[in-house]
Every structure is written in C-alpha cells, then in structure tokens.
C-alpha cells in the first residue's frame, strides 16, 4: 500500500502508468499493487506479465531447468512509464534480463523497479526505486517470499542453505 | 509438469514419454507469443550454430526450422546435399563429423533412410533433430499437428483422429500415431489396402479402407499427401481413382461432424487427396499448422540445446 502511494506520487497519477510483474511471484505482486493503486486513484493501470527465461545468463548453472512460460503484455509499452515488479532483489541479474526483454518489446519512457524485499549482494549496478523492506542477509541464506495465491499464505522466510 | 528435458537429440515420438511430449507442447505455447511481436527475436540461442542438413528436397520444413532458429538468435547454415560433397561420396557420419568439427551445436537432418538421424545422434556430441527419416518418423510435424489440434479443441485425450492416405510410406503418420496414442487420443488410419502396412494395428490404431467410416465419428482428419514419387512399383491407385475413393470433398464432410478439423502436412495435391473447397474452407487449419510449426521447432531447438549444454557442463565438473 505504501509502495502504491509512492508510485502514484513519483509518476503524478496513473497517466501512462503500467505495471510489469516478473514471473512467477512478481506477477501476483503486480496485480496486488494495481488493486491498491486503483483504490487510491480513479485511473486504470495496465498489468503485464514477463517471463525472462529466454534472457537469463545462467541457464546452465541452475540444476532444475525452468519451464519457459508465456510473456503476456498485450499493450504497447512505447512511451509508457513502466514499473517492474519482483519479489526479491538480490544479484540484479533477473532485473538485467527483464530490462533486455522489455526493450525488445518497445521503447518505454522510463522503467522503474519495485521489489518486496531487497536483500543486498548486488552483482550489477542496479537499484530499486521502491522497496517493501530491506532485509540484510548472508549469501548462505535464501529468501523465500510466499504468497497466498501460490503458496496458501503470505510470508517471507529466510532459509539457511545446506 | 515437473518433468525435465534431458535428451540432447529429438529423434522421434516413439521414444518420448507422455510427459516429455506435454513439456514440448507447453514450451511451444510459450514460444508462439514471440512470433507475434514487432521484434520477433529472443536471445535464448545467441552464439549457437544450427545446420540444416537435407538429403531430400524440402521447402516448408527447412524454412520453418531456419525461421525458428533465427527467432532464437542462433546462426543458421543450410546444406542441400545436391550441391555438397555428398555428391562426391562422403558418408553421412563423415559429413556429420565434419560439421561438428566446425563447432556446430545443432544439426537438423532429413534423410531418405529410416534411422539416419538416430545413427548421426549416436556418433556426435552435437544435438540432432530429426526432420524426417525415410518412412520412420517426422517428430516436429506430428508435434505441430498435435499442437494445432490441442489449440483448437483444448485437449487431446479422448479425441477421435483419423489419418487418411499413404500410411505405408508416411513418417508423418507414424509420428502422429505415436504422439496421439500416448496422449490418449483414439486414432483410425484409412487407406487403400495396399497402402496400409502390415501389423499397423499393433501401434494401437483402428484400420479401415472405408473413408466414410473413417470420417463418421472423427473430431479431426489428417489428410496425408499422396507421395507418388515413392511409387516405385507403380502399385498406387491412379490419381483420379484415389480422389474418387478417398479424396476429402464437401460431399463427404457433410456426413461427418459439423466442426471436424481438417489438417494436411503439405504440400497439397489439390484434387487428389483433398478438394480445393475443403483445403480453403472453414474446417481447414492447414495454414495455422504452418504458423504453429515455428513455435514447435523453436521449442525443440531450445530444449535440445539446453539439455546438451547441461550434459557437457556436467562432464567438465
């Protein structure tokens, strides 16, 4: 809700505003943000879903191959103010892939970044415009965001990697 | 769908599990969107090289693979054997090894001998995709047929699908039978008796030589091209005779289900296996099949490349 206010304030309303959720959980967070924004402001906000599998730089490094899902952005992003939404900001590589994917789809006026959790340890010069909570972590830990839509309950858990 | 793709080659649908076929179809569905963009390209196979090695003439399949590879940002080279060293007597495996020595990642091969793609796959570290081997299999054609059916009817399980035409010489028929039966469809094959291979029933299909019977309950009919070039013994029915007895016409479709889907792998022989009014009519999905072929081949290229990279990565650990 606070992020919804911040987005509206920075973009001066919902004119040309679109939210782009990064699969998987970013997509649900983007839909929630839209609801919050639309209860504050009367305008309507487009929401799109981005699958970044094809833009990753680490496909061979992860044990489980991710299933390629659909990108669902059924509006023209050119000259729009886009807010990219994801659950956790960590190395920045997912956001890098998402930026490449978006720029292949058009030329937005600007791209901002909203994340629920910023856990530090960036490997690329990327920062979020809107942060739900900064959570200092060790690289031995993983941060799992669970959402009612997929996981049955809303919670953020820090797990020690084994 | 928790199954992962681990095969470096795509040789046929006979070897694949139901889950692997479903994974290919689901991946193709995601890739279909890429071709609707203004910039029809994703960087997934950037830096990979794909060679189309075709020992038989082909336009549609080769172009489809070429476009699929290019939309994934791979580099593509086409080798037509009529103009290559194959004319000088080089064997398939030698040709394959030479292509591999050029650091090619994926070889898409079409060959007139059944099993040619599998043999190449066994001898090479590069990925091999079968684009048709003799009378054996043509997996990506069957996958795009099944993809199109699923897109139109929402499911495969429980559907009745009839395959009409030269079953004996058709790799498209064989791959379709494997794929459709694994996914739970009921398949009927229909042809003049001399074009039905012996013991085809063992593949789990119904057999008939009565076209009206084949059409009567079908949700879809896949009309194969009459491959007169394969009629070495001059045993095929003559063209007009075939059209009269097996051709898909308005008159015959009126007795079938109203929404029956008509498919054809191309190239069409109008007035031999299908009439023009049906080929261009409301039941036909023939051009949608061509469009879907790109998404299916993108999925195939992507999955084998990814699996092969995982294999070589594991080996260097």
pLDDT in tens, B17-74: 999 999 999 999 999 988 988 889 999 999 999 999 999 988 899 999 999 999 999 9
What CA–CA distance (Å, rounded) separates B173 from B288? 19
Whether pLDDT at A25 is above 80: yes
pLDDT of residue A66: 67
Residue A146 has which token pair? 């669970």
Whether chain A has a CB inside 8 Å of the CB on B35: the answer is no
Lowest mean pLDDT among A125-134, B86-95, B106-115, B142-151: B86-95
From residue B297, alpha-carbon distances to A13, A66, B108, B310 in Å are 44, 18, 10, 20
pLDDT of residue A27: 94
Mean pLDDT of B223-235: 83
- The answer to whether residues A154 and A146 touch, using CB atoms and an 8 Å cutoff, is yes
Domain B18-138+293-316: give its CATH code.
Answer: 3.40.50.1370
Q: Could you tell me which CATH class the domain A2-160 is placed in?
A: alpha beta
Domain B140-289: give its CATH code.
Answer: 3.40.50.1370
Domain ranges in chain B? Answer: 18-138+293-316, 140-289
pLDDT of residue A58: 63
Whether pLDDT at A24 is above 90: no
Q: In what order do the strands lie in the sheet with B49-54?
A: B75-80, B49-54, B106-111, B127-133
- The answer to whether residues B129 and B10 touch, using CB atoms and an 8 Å cutoff, is yes
Whether chain A has a CB inside 8 Å of the CB on B26: the answer is yes
Mean pLDDT of A142-158: 91
What CA–CA distance (Å, rounded) separates B223 from B221? 6
Whether pLDDT at A56 is above 70: yes
Question: Model confidence over B133-162: pLDDT tens digits?
Answer: 999 999 999 999 999 999 999 999 999 999
Of B132, B143, B219, B230, residue with least CA distance to B182: B143
When CB atoms are compared, the residue of B4, B38, B72 closest to A65 is B4
Under an 8 A CB cutoff, do B309 and A60 touch?
yes
Whether pLDDT at B176 is above 90: yes
What CA–CA distance (Å, rounded) separates B186 from B205? 7
Write out chain B residues lying below 8 Å of A106, CB-based: 38
Substitution target in A54, A76, A107, A108 with the highest count of B β-carbons within 10 Å is: A54
pLDDT of residue A30: 96
How would residue A61 be classed by pLDDT, with cut points 50, 70 and 90?
very low
* Most confidently modeled range among A47-51, B143-147, B200-204: B143-147
Domain ranges in chain A? Answer: 2-160
Which string of DSSP letters, residue by residue, matches chain A? -HHHHHHHHHHTSSTTEEEEEETTHHHHHHHHHHHHHHHHSSS--EEEEE--GGG-S-TTTSSSPPPP---B--S--TT-EEEEEEEEESSSHHHHHHHHHHHHH---SEEEEEEEEE----SSS---SEEEEE----TTEEEEEE-HHHHSS-EEEEEE--
The reply to whether ipTM tops 0.90 is no
Q: Are strands B75-80 and B261-263 parallel, antiparallel or unpaired?
A: unpaired
Under an 8 A CB cutoff, do B309 and A55 touch?
no
Mean pLDDT of B164-182: 96
Mean pLDDT of B203-230: 93
How would residue B220 be classed by pLDDT, with cut points 50, 70 and 90?
very high
What CA–CA distance (Å, rounded) separates B2 from A64? 9
Question: Model confidence over B254-296: pLDDT tens digits?
Answer: 999 999 999 999 999 999 999 999 999 999 999 999 999 999 9
How would residue B89 be classed by pLDDT, with cut points 50, 70 and 90?
confident
Largest CA distance in chain A: 48
Whether pLDDT at A63 is above 50: no
Substitution target in A68, A100, A105 with the highest count of B β-carbons within 10 Å is: A68
Whether chain A has a CB inside 8 Å of the CB on B311: the answer is no
pLDDT of residue A59: 55
Mean pLDDT of A104-130: 95
Percent of chain A with pLDDT over 90: 69
Write out chain B residues lying below 8 Å of A74, CB-based: none
How would residue B315 be classed by pLDDT, with cut points 50, 70 and 90?
low
What CA–CA distance (Å, rounded) separates B2 from A62? 15
Percent of chain B with pLDDT over 90: 82
Residue A160 has which token pair? 């020690």
Whether pLDDT at B1 is above 60: no
Total beta-carbon pairs less than 8 A apart between chain A and chain B: 50
Write out chain A residues lying below 8 Å of B315, CB-based: none
């Amino acid at each position: 809700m606070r992020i919804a206010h911040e987005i509206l304030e920075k973009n001066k309303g919902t004119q040309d505003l679109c939210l782009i959720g990064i699969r998987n959980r970013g997509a649900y967070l983007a839909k929630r943000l839209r609801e919050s924004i639309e209860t504050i402001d009367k305008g309507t906000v487009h929401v799109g879903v981005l699958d970044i599998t094809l833009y990753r730089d680490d496909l061979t490094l992860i044990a489980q191959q991710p299933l390629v899902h659909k990108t669902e952005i059924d509006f023209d992003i050119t000259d729009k103010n886009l807010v990219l939404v994801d659950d956790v900001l960590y190395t920045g590589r997912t956001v890098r892939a998402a930026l490449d994917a978006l720029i292949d789809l058009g030329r937005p006026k600007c791209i901002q970044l909203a994340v629920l959790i910023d856990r530090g340890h960036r490997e690329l010069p990327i920062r979020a415009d809107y942060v739900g909570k900064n959570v200092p972590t060790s690289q031995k830990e993983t941060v799992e965001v669970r959402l009612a839509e997929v996981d049955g309950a809303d919670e953020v858990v820090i797990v020690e990697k084994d | 769908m928790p199954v992962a793709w681990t095969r470096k080659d795509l040789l046929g649908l006979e070897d694949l599990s139901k889950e692997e076929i479903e994974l290919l179809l689901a991946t193709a569905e995601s890739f279909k969107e890429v071709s609707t963009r203004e910039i029809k390209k994703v960087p997934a196979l950037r830096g990979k090289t794909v060679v189309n090695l075709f020992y038989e003439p082909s336009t549609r399949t080769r172009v489809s693979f070429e476009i699929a590879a290019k939309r994934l940002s791979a580099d593509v080279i086409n080798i037509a054997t009529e103009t290559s060293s194959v004319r000088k007597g080089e064997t398939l495996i030698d040709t394959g090894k030479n292509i591999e020595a050029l650091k090619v990642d994926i070889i898409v091969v079409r060959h007139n001998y059944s099993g040619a793609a599998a043999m190449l796959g066994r001898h090479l570290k590069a990925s091999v995709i079968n684009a048709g081997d003799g009378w054996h299999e043509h997996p990506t054609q069957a996958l795009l047929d099944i993809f199109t059916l699923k897109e139109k009817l929402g499911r495969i399980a429980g559907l009745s699908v009839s395959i009409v035409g030269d079953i004996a010489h058709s790799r498209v028929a064989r791959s379709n039978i494997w794929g459709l039966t694994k996914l739970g469809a009921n398949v009927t094959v229909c042809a003049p008796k001399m074009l039905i291979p012996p013991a085809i029933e063992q593949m789990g299909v119904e057999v008939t030589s009565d076209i009206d019977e084949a059409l009567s309950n079908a949700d879809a009919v896949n009309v194969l091209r009459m491959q007169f070039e394969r009629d070495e013994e001059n045993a095929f029915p003559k063209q007009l005779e075939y059209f009269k007895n097996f051709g898909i016409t308005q008159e015959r479709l009126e007795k079938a289900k109203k929404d029956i889907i008509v498919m054809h792998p191309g190239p069409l022989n109008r007035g031999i296996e299908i009439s023009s009014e049906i080929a261009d009519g409301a039941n036909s999905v023939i051009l949608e099949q061509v469009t879907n072929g790109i998404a299916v081949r993108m999925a195939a290229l992507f999955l084998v490349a990814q699996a092969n990279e995982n294999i070589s990565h594991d080996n260097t650990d």
